[in-house]
Amino acid sequence: MQISFYKACFMMMTVMLMGCTTLSTTMYQSDGWQPVSISNSYEKAIHSNFTHKDHLIQVAKIGNQPKNGYAVVYVLDGNAFFSPSVSIAQMLQGRPSETNPKSLLVVGIGYNTGRRLDVFNRTHDYTPPAASYPAPNGEQVKFGGANMLYQFITQELTPILDDEFGINSRHRTLIGHSYGGLFGLYSLLNHGDGFDHYLIASPSIWWNDKSIYEYKAGFMPASNVGNVIITLGEQELNAKRHNPNAPTTDLQGSDAYQTMLFLKDNLPNAKVDFHFNLGQSHGLNAYPSMIQGIKMAYDACRLDTTC
């Protein structure tokens, strides 16, 4: 039953994304067509004194405001994933017999550059600090800004959102994919108390010779962490993008699965799960993972009488 539910959700997302073609607004307005906006959603650019960048922040209110504030879901790569995340949250909200959802605040964290995926900014902001940064494939980009982005989210963005919308400080979910998943893992290993629930999709653990593993030694579990989900697409096991001669890795030997085992052993008070999404490539795994992450946020809120 659960598999068919996820399949239905993913099919809906695929149809929606296929329809998101950029067309001339002026041409269609002259024929009676009007621009589409997402209901109960807002956006503005916020400058960070930590990252020294202008971040496009998009916010959607799903459901009525609870007395203790909204459970909040932070979605990285907001320019690309805010709209799909809102659609998922709205769909789950509309099926109370299946999900019994509470209210949710979906927050897309992106860049005020107009790019769907801002490769240069996300590469810098989502990768952890390290002693050196050998650029993969000779890429001319900056690395190592994850701590500054974390400070932006927790020290600058969250207080703004709390003042304007009201946030439940016990229900903060982070969703990140690829480099965004690496950022989620970095945050969990170094600043676990910054978020309460983590959806870490297809994390780029390979980056910088797996230097993220260096943070395992000093890992101090945060008592507030309630849920962690790590996901991997089936086709990622055979992906050889970074090393054509690499052997095929089985699931249990994959970096993502081994990381899940480490977290399960070291977060005894948290629910740590692994979702292996059949048929999905690295890129497409983002979408079923968003369904799983937002459902995780709803489920955690539903089980807490203060949410």
Q: Give yes or no for residue 22 having a pLDDT over 50.
A: no
Q: What is the per-residue pLDDT across 33-81, written as a single tens digit (0 to 9) for each?
A: 888 888 889 999 999 999 999 999 999 999 999 999 999 999 999 999 9
Lowest mean pLDDT among 22-26, 59-63, 105-109, 233-237: 22-26
Q: Which two three-digit tokens encode residue 49?
A: 């004194």
Q: Please indicate, yes or no, if residue 14 is contained in any of the structural domains.
A: no
Q: Please indicate, yes or no, if residue 29 is contained in any of the structural domains.
A: no
Residues 162-191, mean pLDDT to the nearest whole number: 97
Q: Please indicate, yes or no, if residue 25 is contained in any of the structural domains.
A: no
DSSP characters for 161-220?
HHHHT-EEEEEEEEEEETHHHHHHHHHHHH-GGG-SEEEEES--TTHHHHGGGGGGTT--
Residues 116-129, mean pLDDT to the nearest whole number: 92
- CATH number (domain holding residue 75): 3.40.50.1820
Q: Please indicate, yes or no, if residue 247 is contained in any of the structural domains.
A: yes
Lowest mean pLDDT among 84-98, 155-169, 181-195, 239-253: 239-253
| CA gap 199, 213 in Å, rounded | 18
pLDDT, position 272: 98
Count of Cβ atoms closer than 10 Å to residue 152 Cβ: 23
pLDDT, position 176: 98
pLDDT, position 19: 42
222: Cβ contacts below 8 Å, ≥ 6 apart: 192, 193
Q: Please indicate, yes or no, if residue 9 is contained in any of the structural domains.
A: no
Q: Please indicate, yes or no, if residue 201 is contained in any of the structural domains.
A: yes
Q: Which domain holds residue 123?
A: 39-302
pLDDT, position 137: 66
Q: What is the per-residue pLDDT across 182-240, written as a single tens digit (0 to 9) for each?
A: 999 999 999 989 999 999 999 999 999 999 999 999 899 899 999 999 999 998 987 65
Pairing of strands 54-62, 167-177: unpaired
What are φ and ψ of residue 197, in 5° steps? -140, 140
What is the domain count for the chain? 1
Q: Which two three-digit tokens encode residue 271?
A: 């629910």
| CA gap 176, 165 in Å, rounded | 23
